[in-house]
């Protein structure tokens, strides 16, 4: 009997070739596997959000009749002071948080602060374990305002009924629920859960806090504001309970816009049944939010607001829980929680600028895109760096390359001038940092010595 005799070396050669191929392909594959692990962790935590807790907070806050900054506490259970005492107690019940009364005295000023007053932001701090301080600010406002009987604002009518269930007890309920869930978890970054006051007098509490952070040189990585996150039915009858709007300021490569993209990316993986609708605009027309004072100070900030607003209820005695959807508020809470936890557990974003503020991006040998970066964290804890590329006009990143643990990356024959580049770092725990964008350095005004010829 004759048979085909194969050379024994051939099989071994094929196996070795396969092994080499698998090993070479490994980094990209591994990064995806690691990321999947991170998303699984976030999914488990997000499942803990309780609608019952959210409902209780909204009902409790609306029971104070008004939380106007200038309201007088006529009974122990009404007015902003009573609400503040209740809220401080709620935060103090949570183990693992340091509760700070961030108080200010404000003399009578402008059109809206019609008498001398105190303003107290409530700050609950969850310490991170990173050696270099990193801060993430999640916030809502606990003060309210309502129009007077004639349907207009009279800022001296400080005791008008203003339950503010949606504006913004809904945000505070989400904040408290997030604090409860995150307090026992280990995070890298420190998280400040803040209930601001004086929002309705012109973002007063958040402005004072943002300016203080800036003055103290604090490293605030992200600011996430939740304001009106519980209404699903608009006055014109349109209903939307499946989306939340996220506002972020221009330009398209701003850190705020990048934070918004981050939220959408995380939400799509962790909570795909709910849509994050990115609005490329600082806020709604004619309206303000507590993220804006932080953006003005140079920090990345975004605002979460329901997809459909009901203008006839806002700032009236009818802004009560009966007109809201608690399940929708819980959905928004899950999205903000997933993003905040991801940011807090991810490594610090890489630095892509020189000490002089120039982007660490060059043309390499002439016509390549050569990216450099600085990152001085613990390399044992990271999986590697990720390079992102998109058209300058594109709303989202279009391509991604895994750069391993090196400090540079070259894209051959790619123009640095025609595309936008970004860089993130992926932790071994599967959670990714914010993307740092290579941006044009700010232009300075030129000064020449000259004399005009007459
Ligand atoms: Zn508001």
Dist. CA 86–CA 99, nearest whole Å: 13
Structure tokens at 452: 């005009």
Distance 86 CA to ligand 1 centre (A): 20
Dihedral of the CA atoms 406, 42, 226, 303 (nearest 10)? 30
Distance 254 CA to ligand 1 centre (A): 24
pLDDT at 29: 53
Distance 309 CA to ligand 1 centre (A): 12
Distance 120 CA to ligand 1 centre (A): 17
Distance 267 CA to ligand 1 centre (A): 23
Return the SS3 of 408.
Answer: strand
Dist. CA 424–CA 422, nearest whole Å: 7
Yes or no: say if 434 and 266 are a contact pair by the CB < 8 Å rule: no
Count Cβ neighbours within 10 Å for each residue of 339-373 and write b for 16 or more, e otherwise: bbbbbbbbbbbbebbeeeeebbbeebeeebbbbbb
Distance 431 CA to ligand 1 centre (A): 31
Q: How far is CA 454 from its chain centroid?
A: 57
Alpha helices in 63-185 (DSSP H): 80-92, 170-182
Distance 291 CA to ligand 1 centre (A): 11
Which helix (H) or strand (E) segment is 333 a member of? helix 326-345
Fold held by 361-437: Immunoglobulin-like (2.60.40)
Distance 243 CA to ligand 1 centre (A): 19
Distance 46 CA to ligand 1 centre (A): 25
Per-residue pLDDT of the chain (454 residues; tens, 9 = 90+): 444 444 445 566 555 655 555 444 444 557 889 999 999 999 999 999 999 999 999 999 999 999 999 998 778 899 999 999 999 999 999 999 999 999 999 999 999 999 999 999 999 999 999 989 999 999 999 999 999 988 898 888 888 999 999 999 999 999 999 999 999 999 999 999 999 999 999 999 999 999 999 999 999 999 999 999 999 999 999 999 999 999 999 999 999 999 999 999 999 999 999 999 999 999 999 999 999 999 999 999 999 999 999 999 999 999 999 999 999 999 999 999 999 999 999 999 999 999 988 999 999 889 999 999 999 999 999 999 999 999 999 999 999 999 999 999 999 999 999 999 999 999 999 999 999 999 998 788 999 999 999 9
Count of helices and strands (H, E) across the chain: 8, 15
Distance 170 CA to ligand 1 centre (A): 10
Dist. CA 227–CA 168, nearest whole Å: 6
Distance 171 CA to ligand 1 centre (A): 9
> Which residues fall within 8 angstroms of residue 431, CB to CB, at 6 or more apart?
38, 41, 42, 342, 345, 346, 347
pLDDT at 17: 57
Dist. CA 293–CA 203, nearest whole Å: 8
Distance 288 CA to ligand 1 centre (A): 8
Distance 287 CA to ligand 1 centre (A): 9
Yes or no: say if 156 and 114 are a contact pair by the CB < 8 Å rule: yes
Residues with CB under 5 Å of ion ligand 1 are 167-168, 227
Q: Which residues pair with 223 in a beta bridge?
A: 137, 301
Residue 12 burial (10 A CB sphere; 0-12, 13-18, 19+)? exposed
- The ranges of the chain annotated as CATH 2.60.40.10 are 361-437
Yes or no: say if 399 and 409 are a contact pair by the CB < 8 Å rule: no
- The ranges of the chain annotated as CATH 3.40.630.10 are 41-345
Distance 336 CA to ligand 1 centre (A): 17
Distance 168 CA to ligand 1 centre (A): 5
Q: How far is CA 231 from its chain centroid?
A: 21
Distance 207 CA to ligand 1 centre (A): 15
> Which residues fall within 8 angstroms of residue 435, CB to CB, at 6 or more apart?
258, 261, 262, 349, 388, 397, 422, 423, 424
CA dist list (Å): 47 to 43, 170, 340, 398, 450:
6, 19, 15, 31, 68
- The CATH number of 41-345 is which of 3.40.50.720, 3.40.50.1240, 3.40.630.10, 3.30.230.10? 3.40.630.10
Distance 297 CA to ligand 1 centre (A): 21
pLDDT at 444: 86
Full-model pTM: 0.92
Yes or no: say if 121 and 194 are a contact pair by the CB < 8 Å rule: yes
Distance 225 CA to ligand 1 centre (A): 10
pLDDT at 31: 82
Distance 425 CA to ligand 1 centre (A): 34
> Cis peptide leading into 251, omega within 30 of 0?
yes
> Cis peptide leading into 168, omega within 30 of 0?
yes
Pick from 444, 438, 432, 433: which is nearest to 32 by CA? 432
Dist. CA 80–CA 119, nearest whole Å: 10
Count of residues in the chain:
454
Residue showing tokens 């402008």:
110
Yes or no: say if 139 and 225 are a contact pair by the CB < 8 Å rule: yes
Pick from 143, 155, 154, 119: which is nearest to 66 by CA? 143
Distance 125 CA to ligand 1 centre (A): 22
Return the SS3 of 291.
Answer: coil
Return the SS3 of 246.
Answer: strand
């Amino acid at each position: 009997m004759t048979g085909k005799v194969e050379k024994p070396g051939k099989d071994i050669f094929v196996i070795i070739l396969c092994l080499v191929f698998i090993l070479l392909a490994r980094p990209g594959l591994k990064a995806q596997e690691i990321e999947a692990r991170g998303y699984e962790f976030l999914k488990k935590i997000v499942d803990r959000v309780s609608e019952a807790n959210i409902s209780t907070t909204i009902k409790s806050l609306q029971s104070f009749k008004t939380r106007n900054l200038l309201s007088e506490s006529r009974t122990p259970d009404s007015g902003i002071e009573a609400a503040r005492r209740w809220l401080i107690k709620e935060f103090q019940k949570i183990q693992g948080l340091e509760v700070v009364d961030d108080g200010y005295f404000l003399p009578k000023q402008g059109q809206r602060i019609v008498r001398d007053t105190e303003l107290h932001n409530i700050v609950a701090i969850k310490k991170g374990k990173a050696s270099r301080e990193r801060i993430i600010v999640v916030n809502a406002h606990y003060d309210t305002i309502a129009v007077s009987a004639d349907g207009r604002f009279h800022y001296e009518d400080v005791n008008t009924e203003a339950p503010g269930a949606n504006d913004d007890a809904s945000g505070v309920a989400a904040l408290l629920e997030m604090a409860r869930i995150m307090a026992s978890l280990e995070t890298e970054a420190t998280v400040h859960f803040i209930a601001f006051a004086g929002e309705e007098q012109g973002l007063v509490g958040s402005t004072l806090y943002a300016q203080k952070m800036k003055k103290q040189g604090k490293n605030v990585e992200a600011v996430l504001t939740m304001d009106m996150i519980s209404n699903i039915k608009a006055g014109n009858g349109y209903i939307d309970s499946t989306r939340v709007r996220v506002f972020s300021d221009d330009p398209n490569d701003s850190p705020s816009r990048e934070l918004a993209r981050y939220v959408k990316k995380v939400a799509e993986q962790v909570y795909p049944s709910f849509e994050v609708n990115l609005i490329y605009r600082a806020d709604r027309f004619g309206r303000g939010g507590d993220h804006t004072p932080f953006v003005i100070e140079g920090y990345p900030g975004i605002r979460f607001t329901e997809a459909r607003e009901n203008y006839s209820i806002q700032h009236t005695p009818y802004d009560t829980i009966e007109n809201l959807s608690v399940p929708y508020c819980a959905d928004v809470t899950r999205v903000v929680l997933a993003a905040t936890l991801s940011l807090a557990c991810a490594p610090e974003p890489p630095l892509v600028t020189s000490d002089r503020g120039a982007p660490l991006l060059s043309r390499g040998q002439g016509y390549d895109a050569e990216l450099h970066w600085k990152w001085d964290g613990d390399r044992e804890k990271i999986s590697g760096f990720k390079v992102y590329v998109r058209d300058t006009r594109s709303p989202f990143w279009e391509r991604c390359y895994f750069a391993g643990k090196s400090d540079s990356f070259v894209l051959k024959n790619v123009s640095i001038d025609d595309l936008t580049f970004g860089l993130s770092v992926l932790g071994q725990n599967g959670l990714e940092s914010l993307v740092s964008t290579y941006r044009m350095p700010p232009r300075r005004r030129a000064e020449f010595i000259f004399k005009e010829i007459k």
